[in-house]
Structures are given as structure tokens and as C-alpha cells.
Chains A and B, each alone.
Chain A
Amino acid sequence: MSQFDAIFQPIQIGKLTIRNRVVSTAHAEVHATDGGMTTDRYVKYYEEKAKGGCGLCICGGSSVVSIDSPQAWWSSVNLSTDRIIPHFQNLADAVHKHGGKIMIQITHMGRRSRWDGYNWTTLVSPSGIREPVHRSTCKTIEPEEIQRIIGDYAKAARRAKEGGLDGVELSAVHQHLIDQFWSPRVNKRTDEWGGSYENRMRFGMEVLKAVREEVGPDFVVGMRICGDEFHPDGLTHEDMKQIAAYYDATGLVDFFGVIGSGCDTHNTLANVIPNMSYPPEPFLHLAAGIKEVVKAPVIHAQNIKDPNQAQRILEGGYVDMVGMTRAHIADPHIIAKIKMGQIDQIRQCVGANYCIDRQYQGLDVLCIQNAATSREYMGLPHIIGKTEGVVRKVVVVGGGPAGMEAARVAAERGHQVVLFEGQAQLGGQITLAAKAPQRDQMAGITRWYQLELARLNVDLRLNTYADEAQIKAEQPDIVILAVGGKPFIEQVPEWGADEGLIVSSWDILDGKVEPGKNVLVYDTICEFTGMSTADYLSEKGSKVELVTDDVKPGAAIGGTTFPTYYRSLYPKEVIMTSDLALHKVYREDEQLVAVLENEYTGQLEERVVDQVVVENGVRPDEALYYALKQQSLNKGQIDIEALYAIQPQPCLSESTAGDDFLLFRIGDCTAPRNTHAAIYDALRLCKDF
């Protein structure tokens, strides 16, 4: 039998045959435009998954059915108007053309939204209880509104059907309106819509019946539910089994999507989209428990990223279909690659959650490592074709994310590529990031590049800090500098970097400097590195205080990741202090004294420690760039109009015969940004070489 045969068993859901067992489950894309329409970007994003072989795409996480469930905050899809129907037709055609199927999640978010904009909506909820994650207050919903919203669901389902989609998924998960009614934690009503089990079930049941009545028996209607809210006063796994069986018994539900955890607190929210600190498929048992009590097929997503894992889950019969949603964001061609026997070429999701953490800020979903994802509409390719022009010698300096991507893309174009890296391994700052506890999977980004660069025969020169002479000795046509930078700990002379009073977060993570016993970590950036350094030190036994002048340590880390840092830091008694700037460090006997200044009062306080670690971001390394700049044909300049328009650099048409070469610099050696920015720089620049 084939290694992945369980994945490639077609399945019947309702009247629909789906070609394999892999689903891209509903997630908020933040791609809809024009008041929630599925326009070009949206269509191309899903078309790419269908082209890549995905069996079923359920699009539009939290697509709204009613005008009082605001869509604009997260640019979600708006099914409250017939205007959506032709857009759905475009979407359906694009996916069906490649043999995929597409459904949409429809919902009313109830209290789980924001009211302070757009229509200044009065949010509704069964009992008017505030939602903490969105800090949203709401009114207690009235029976007339309940009836209106039930009708809105039915109309929305009709629009999906008329638009040619294959089905709808009713969201009764993530504390949307249906499960707000279900959960006694939120539903304190005493009328027919609350109190007893049947009453709490009523709203969802009425929605289900109304939808089914509207769309008839041949259109797929599924429900997404949670397997356990993980709140002492919330719905337990046994409750959810009872609820699933109750709805299943109606025969009106064609499938159940099951995920673990409620999500109306910061901490539970992190469970819903498990980041790299979680084990594989952490909540499969909950979905398997639901499967035991329902007849309809069960879909489960949550940290399923690998074809072997998917095969194992399906072969074990725990669920009927696996959601591989982030896996598709990282590589929309994952299924095609499994089929082609190109497992090693799959760009595997590492669980950095760049995608979802952007989404919760209302930003478009992007992938930390695949810059083409959700930019298909701009013409950024997932499969890079060979050039039909001249084959060039491309020298890339620096093996971090920007350099690795540049080397990969240039090699895919068919050029002859040399990659210089000063360290003994590829990865750059990714290597450092992966040193922290719970962050080791970051190295997966590098692992993929290593395999790809080897497959593409890129000439790797490790342990080589290339200088001007070495670069020119390669007789390059194009030089790409991606040398990154250094920790910027000299910014404030009083910190005493020159006197050796402080060390950088890199020195700690890299193991160059032994952890002290009593350590102050000063973090001005409030992203991953500071938290990781504190976590690393406390893991090694240091007593750590993490101090920032910002509003909160980890403030710039997204909603699904800062909770897992906190879960790690608090038990190790790391003290997290905000609003204090590092004023000065001086030595007193064997000890160091860190002088901290309150941002708001100017009051000074001191800490006596034996190590001060400063995380103050990166200072670009520009020396090589300025050594080469004047010698290059384009004087190192990137035409940003062409770059932003995803067009070829005009200077590529110039002859690079003899000693002439073009010079580009990308990634942190230009300005310190992040992994995605570095990779995007490289992809959009190099795809036209």
C-alpha cells in the first residue's frame, strides 16, 4: 500500500465527493475588500490551494451573516448582502477548475467583535456579558433580534449556494453567537433561549433548521464546534459530546469540524491555533471523542503539518478528514508534493504563527517563510520557472533568511549561485531564535532551505566571511548582500557595552556567554528575542528580571504566542517589569548595578545583579555594501517602484560582461525588520533574475 493512501481516499460529504482527506479549514484571511467581497486576492489565494491539490477549502473564517456582526475590522467576508453572489461565483469557478471543493464558514460573532468603529454597532450576546479578548461590551439580545439573525443565517446560506459554493459551515466555535448561547458561562438567560440544555441549544438548532430549509438536502451544511472549552465554568468534553450527538441526531448536519479549546481569554485563545510550543495534534483526542458519538464525518485541524502525521491520524481512524490550514499557508502545494513524492520539498509550517498573529491585529494573513502566499494576485509565484534569458553568476553573501531565499530563487531561475556564509551553518538569526526553549522549531525554516539549496546545487561556502576580493574573484553578474547586522547594544554609552558591562541577547542565546546567577534582561524591542532570552536564562537556572521601558514585556508579540511565553516564564519566577528604561550600568565590587529610570516619573531605582543582558535590536552591517556600492553598475540601488509593483528591476537589462556587476542589498543589512520582510525582499527582487 502506498505510504499516504489514507490521505488520498476520497470521501463523500452529503452529496459531495471530495478528492482527498485534507482540508484547509476556515480561517480569517483578512483579504476581502469592497465591503467584504471575495475579490481577486481572495480568489487567487484559494485557487492556489486547489491547484496544489487540497481536497476541500473552507474559506472565510468568521464570515458574517448580519449587519450587526461587523466585518470590516478583519476584512472578513460579508454574506449579509446579495452583492456577494457574483464574487462567490468567481471563487467557486477558480477552485472547481482545479478539482477542489469550496465551502464557507458563516457566523454571527455576537459579542466577539468591536463596536468602536464603522457602524458603531451595538454588539449582541445572550446575556450582555463583556468579552475580554476584544474588550467588547454588548447588549443582551432580544427575541426579535434572535429571529432576525436566524433569518440572516438562512439568507447567507442561500447566497453561498447561489454563488456556486459547495457548502456552508456554521461556526459554533470560538465563542461566536451560537456557542455563546450554548455556554452557561455566557448564557444566563431564563427565557426559552437559556437555562435548560434544550433552551441553550435552541438558537443553534433554529439556525440549523432554517439554513437546511433554505438550501435543501443537496447542499452541504456542516458545523464547527469545540471539543472542550477548557473553562471550569464552560462546556466540558462530555457536554460537547452531548451537544454534537444532539445536533447529529437531526440528520441535518453533513459534517462536524472539531477543535480543542474555547477562546474568549488570552490564554485559551493560544490553544486554538497551537504554536510551535505545542506537541503535534494536541487536541485530536477531543475530535476523536466527538467522532465516537456522531454519524457525520468529523474534520479536525490543530497542529497537523506533516504528511506522515496526517496519514497516521487518518489511518488510525480518529477523524475522517484532517485540517492542514497553516500547512497550506506555508505551502499551498503540499498535496501535490506528497503526490509527486517530493516530501522533502514541502515547505513545512513551523508554527511561528506569524499568520494568525497578524490576523488578530486586523492585518492580512501572511506566512513568515513563504512570501508568495496570499500575494498570488500580485504575480508572486509559488513555483519559480527557469529564466529564458541569460544565465548569470549570482553571488549571495549571508545565509540568513534573506540570503537563503535569494539563493533559492536565483537557483530556481537557473542561475549559477554561490552563497557565502560566515557561520558553520545556514540560518542567520533563525539559528539564534531556535536556541530558546519552545522555539526550536524555528530551525525548520532553515532545514527547508538547506534541502532546497542542496537540491538546486547552490555552491555553499560556509565558514566564509566573504570580503570584497573574494566576491569579485567569483566574477559575479549580480551580488546580493544579505549580511544582516549586529546586536545594537552600543546605542547608549552609559550602558557600558564598551567596558564589557553588558552582554547582548545573541551572546546568551548563542552560548558565547555563560548565564549569570542573577540576571537583568533589558528589552526595548518587546518581541521574541527578549522573551526568549529570559526564558533561556531561567531555563538554565538564572534568576531573571525582564525589564522593558515599553508597556509590557512581549508587547509586540502576537496573541497566540505571548501566552505561551508567559506560561513558561511565570512558573520559573521570572519577574516582568514594565515602564523602566535602563539608564546606566556600573560595576561595584564583583557585582553590577543597573540603574533604571521610570518612564513616567523619572524616578531612579537600582538592581544589583551579576549580569545585564540588553536586547536592543539589530544594527545593519553596512561595511561590505559601501565597499562595493560605487563599483556596481546600479550603485547598489533598488528601483522601488519596480520592486513594489513586482516588476523586474530595470537594471537587469544592462550588460554585466567583464567585471561589471549589479549590487542589491536585502534583509536586515538594509534596515532591521523581520524574517518575513527579509524573505519577501529576496523573493520579489530575485524572481525576475
Chain B
Amino acid sequence: MLNQILPLLIFGALLLAVVGGVRRIRLWRNGRPSDVPIMAGLAALPRRYLVDLHHVVARDKYISNTHVATGGGFVAAAILAILVHGLQLNSQILAWALLAATTSMFVGALFVAKRRVQPPERLSKGPWMRLPKSLLAFSIGFFLVTLPVTGLVPAVLGAWVLALILSVLIIWGLGEMFFGMTWGGPMKHAFAGALHLAFHRRAERFNGGRSTGLKPLHFDDQQQPLGVEKPSEFTWNQLLGFDACVQCGRCEAMCPAFAAGQPLNPKKLIQDMVVGLAGGSDAAYAGSPYPGKPLGEHQGGPFASIIAREGQGLLDAETLWSCTTCRACVEECPMMIEHVDAIVDMRRHLTLERGQTPNKGAEVIDNLIATDNPNGFNPASRMNWAADLALPVLSDVKRTDVLLWMGDGAFDMRNQRSLRALVKILRAAKVDFAVLGNEERDSGDVARRLGDEATFQSLAKRNITTLAQYSFRSIVTCDPHSFHVLKNEYSDFGGQYVVYHHSTFINHLRQTGKLNFAPYKGGSVTYHDPCYLGRYNGEYDAPRDLLAAAGIQVIEMERSGFRSRCCGGGGGAPITDIPGKQRIPDMRMEDIKQTGAEIVAVGCPQCTAMLEGVVDPRPEVLDIAEIIAKQLVEAEEAA
């Protein structure tokens, strides 16, 4: 009797899955076009899944092993079940293989179930609590119906009562695993996730690559909206990416804004985008809400404004402005979803179309437009900090080995100390360097992250024009934001440079014997990784190597390296200044204090400012250049 039912059930479920899949694909296709290569993407899928994605998942050994057993077991079981029970291929080998696959899946499902006994906060509940049972139903059901095929048990067991029970298990399992996959159940992640990997908008991220620069708006393209107002204004593969979310909440656990009680939760944001692309409200969402924002009050659809002009939309603007663009969420996401891109896309709309950059945002943008620096300083005073240093200026010398990019920290009395320390080091190493002087402009980082792509591009293009007049081999800067923008974001506008963060460059000077250090006698040191140096550019080692070479043993924070917690200073967050329950830099300073270190070494003017803004008593905040400059043993000058 089962022999008659099973093909029906399997192919029925598959048919429904296909229908669901087509419907889902149509939802994604509401998005704007994206020129990803379809076939190449599909061809790259297995490797992207098995290597790149697994690399992220494997940070949590429990769940990666569980997933290998469950997911691997399911994929094998599904294919084998279609062959053995759907097509009724009478093969002992296939039947035994199916038994093995369902066993693997069963064991995995037990671990899934175990984790759901007391699930961590970050996991979504709701339908996800059902999933382990569905996995068990599928694996048990197909295990049992396969036993007769192997001849291990007599076929008489196919008595109809038992058959009925088994059918229920099979229907349940098939329903969740096949039907649910394309009709919005938890298994959607497998379907959407696979396609998302194939059609990812940042293919450079695979094979160990890195792609963190924002994608430019093309102002000459009349079809392109200025940012994203409605879900349908995302590209189709962005929408697809949102659908890949497994609601594991690893992003939520790492998000500094969420921890600070600001109204942002990256997981919820992605789920809201899912609600937006399919239409509906967030009432069914079963995870942690945005702090201070109850569920069920927001709704949207593919063609509705995400941020409502009146009343409630899908999101409140302050959710978007809470983000520091630290990329902790992106770094953690096992599905490699691009949260920051989405946030900046929506910010672009708010800033460019509505002029609704909150708090000091508009003032900063006005300053950037009028004075080429965010604080509105007289642009002719950019070199004041170095009035007594007689720095070579490129407009005089025309060519140099190293262009020292000062950044807007040149206007800031605190950062001037770091810059002066850096100059001291460069001089000690006899580096041939020069500055742009008053010709330097803000890199455009803040404007871009506040959504003002126009001002960013204006600054970028003018900087590129200035740079084109001179000859230099590389750019060195102590500002990771300038570093990132010059290195990764100017290339879209024709600016290709060799750019080094000062820690990398100084470390190189050290390695080539150009610097000598005295024995370190200062206090104990921990190191804070700046987001735009670490997660954005993968530089974790040079600052540590450099400090070690200077005789400093860095006491690591629990959250360091790629898991470093943001200082709160990125993405214009201090400018838009969305209130929370606590301040991000205070939390970071707590991380620092837990190490017991007397000094926190930093490599970013923004981090320095944020961390120094924490009230005393607290460890001293020193730029890595300041620490190194103090350790220099300068060769005796000729008399």
C-alpha cells in the first residue's frame, strides 16, 4: 500500500515545492536587475557552500557538525527517497544508502532538538521550534519505510494501520522539508540560501576574498533610484539574500547598537526585509525585537515605502541610523548576508531624496560641502598642526615615495598627537614622504555612510584629481576610514592606489631594520581592533606584530580580531546619535577594563575619540604610533 502512496506523496510535495519556488522567485524578481553571472554562479555554488559558508558556520563547532549531519543527511535522503520510493527503483544499495542518510539526519536532528530545549536568546523561536520535530519525522518516516525495501523486515509490516502512521510522518516530513522550503517555512533557508550563494552580489567574498567597499550609485543612470525607498528597489539578489536568513541571531549577538539598547537588531532588520518583499506585518516574527519597539506595529509590502512618510512603515528611520557600519553582523552571518549594504541603501534614500539625515547629520554634510571637512574648519587650516614640522608638501615637491594622508584628524588636537608621532617615526626611518597639505579633502567616508553618495563622489573625484597631479608610490594614513575609502572605494572612480594603514607600514619599516626600539617599560597594553582596519580590511596582525616587536605583550580582549566590538564611532553614528540605554564606547571600555590593561592601543582617530570620551578612571588611550614613537631609539645625529 505504501508503495502506491509514497510516489504520490513525494511527487506531490515536489510539485508543490516547485510551485512555491516559482512564486518565491517572482517575489525576488520584483527587485531591480543585477548583472550577476547566472551559470557561473550556479557552477560555483557547491564550493561556495562547502568551503566558504562552512568556514563561517564552523566557528560554532556544535552547529556545524549538527548541520553537516542533518543537512547532508537530508540532501542525500531526499535524492535517494525520490529514487527509491518515488521512482520505486528496487536497489538494495540505494535502500541501504537511504537508511544511512536518514540515520545521519536523525542523529543531527537529535542535536538540533537538544539545542532547542533551552535555546539561546539570539535564536528565533516560532516555527523554528517545530523544525527539529519535522526533521525527526522525515528521517524516522523514511527510515522505517525503507526497511522493507532492504529486506530487513518483512513487507507484511506494510499493514495499513502502520502505513497510515508512516504516511503521517512522511507527509509531515515532506511538508516541512519540500513544501515549507519554498512556501516560507524554516527550510526556506536551504532553497534561498543556495541561490543566494550562487548569485551573491559580492562574489569576491568567496575563495577567501574580501569585498567591503560600498557599491556606487550611478547618477547618470536615470533608471536607478537614489537609494532604496521600497523593497522592490533593492536588486533582486539582495531580496534573495534576505530570504536566506536562518534567524540564528549571530548578528544580533554581535551588534553593538543592539547591545547598547538602540533600536536596531540586524536579524530583525533582515526579517523585516523578508516581510517587506512578501508583504505583511512583523507580528509573526519570533525573535528579539528592536529594543524599545514592540512587535506587530509595523508592516510593509514590496511596493510600499519602507520608512513611511506618515504613520508606521516597515521600519523606523532611527533603526537605520543606529548602525555603526561595523560589519560585525556581516562578519558573523553564516549565510553571508549583506546587512550594511542594505542599511546604506535605505539611508541613501533618506538623505538624498528626503533630506532626513537626523541630528547633526545635515550640519556635517553641509560642512563637507562647504569646507571639505565634517566640522566646518577653515580648509586653509588643515596644516596648522604641523606648522613647526616643515613637512614637504606635494604641490612643492611634486613627487615622493610615501604620501602621508592626514585625514580630518589633522584638525583635531588629540589626533594631532598621533600624527606627530607618526611623523617622528617616518623621519626616524628616513622615509621619503610628503603631504597634500591644504589640498587634501575629507575622504568622503562619513558622507557616504550617512547616505550622501553625491557628496562622497564629489569629494572622491576631487581627491582623485588632486592625487593624479603628483607622483607617489604609496599612501600611508593613520585613519582606517580614509584607508578603506582610498583603498577600496576610490577604484570605482578611477583612483587606484597602494594604501597602507600606518601600523602596517611601520611594521614593514621595522621588519626592514629601519627602526630600533628601546626596551618597553610602560604599562600593560591591550589592543582594540578598529572595524575599518580589521573586519573591513583584514589587518589584524601588523599592529600586534609591531607591538610585540616593541617588547609589548598584548593582553587580548575576549572580543578581539574579527570579533572586535565597535567603539561606536563608525558610520556617522556619533553624528546621528540615536539614543539607547548605554553608550557603545562605555561597553567597549568595559571590555578593555576586563583585561586589566593600563593602556589601550588603538589605530584609529575615531576610536581614540570615542574611547577617550569615556569618563575616568579608565585605561589610557594611545595610538599605536604614539606608543612606538616613545620606544624609538634614534641613531645619533652627526655632530
Contacts and interface: CB of A to CB of B under 8 A. Distances in A.
Q: Do the two chains bind? A: yes
Interface of A: 1-2, 4, 8-10, 17-20, 55, 98-100, 339-341, 388
**Top 9 closest A-B pairs, CB basis?**
A99-B388, A10-B387, A19-B388, A19-B387, A10-B384, A339-B413, A17-B387, A2-B413, A8-B384
B389 A99 contact: yes
A388 B375 CA distance: 43
B583 interface: no
Contacts of B521: 388
Given A1-B377, A388-B521, A341 B387 contact: no
Contacts of A18: 387
A19 B417 CA distance: 14
Contacts of B412: 2
Contacts of A340: 417
Contacts of A98: 388
B414 interface: yes
Contacts of B384: 8-10
A341 B389 contact: no
A341 B414 contact: yes
15 contacts: A1-B375, A1-B376, A1-B377, A2-B411, A2-B413, A8-B384, A8-B385, A9-B381, A10-B384, A10-B387, A19-B387, A55-B388, A99-B388, A100-B388, A341-B414
Contacts of B474: none
A8 B378 CA distance: 13
Contact of B417 (A1, A8, A100, A339): A339
B377 A341 contact: no
Interface in B508-532: 521
Interface string B374-413: 0111000100110111000000000000000000000111
A339 B416 contact: yes
Nearest to A340: B417
Contacts of A2: 411-413
Nearest to A98: B388
Nearest to A97: B637
Between B375, B387, B389, B414, the greatest number of chain A beta carbons within 10 A of the residue's beta carbon is seen for B387
Contacts of A339: 413, 416-417
B388 A341 contact: no
A10 B416 CA distance: 14
B393 to A, nearest CB: 12
A20 to B, nearest CB: 7
Between B388, B389, B413, the greatest number of chain A beta carbons within 10 A of the residue's beta carbon is seen for B388
A339 B388 CA distance: 15
Given A17-B388, A100-B388, A388-B521, 14 more contacts: A1-B375, A2-B412, A4-B413, A8-B385, A8-B413, A9-B381, A10-B384, A18-B387, A20-B387, A99-B388, A99-B389, A339-B416, A339-B417, A341-B413
A347 B414 CA distance: 21
Contacts of B388: 17, 19, 55, 98-100
A388 B522 CA distance: 11
A388 B412 CA distance: 34
A351 B377 CA distance: 36
Contacts of A19: 387-388
A19 B384 CA distance: 7
Nearest to B637: A97
A663 B62 CA distance: 66
Nearest to A455: B616
Contacts of B377: 1
A599 B323 CA distance: 86
Contacts of A9: 381, 384
B438 to A, nearest CB: 12
A48 B376 CA distance: 34
A292 to B, nearest CB: 24
Nearest to A386: B521
Nearest to B376: A1
A99 B376 CA distance: 27
A55 B384 CA distance: 12
Contacts of B411: 2
A487 to B, nearest CB: 42
Contacts of A17: 387-388
Contacts of A4: 413
Contacts of B381: 9
Nearest to A96: B388
A456 to B, nearest CB: 13
A190 B416 CA distance: 59
A17 B412 CA distance: 20
A339 to B, nearest CB: 5
A271 B614 CA distance: 45
A8 B412 CA distance: 11
Nearest to A11: B387
Interface in B346-397: 375-377, 381, 384-385, 387-389
Nearest to A339: B413
B566 to A, nearest CB: 24
Nearest to B388: A99
A2 B381 CA distance: 13
Interface string B72-86: 000000000000000
A388 B520 CA distance: 12
Contacts of B375: 1
Nearest to B420: A99
A10 B391 CA distance: 14
Contacts of B414: 341
Nearest to A100: B388
B8 to A, nearest CB: 78
A18 B387 CA distance: 7
B385 to A, nearest CB: 8
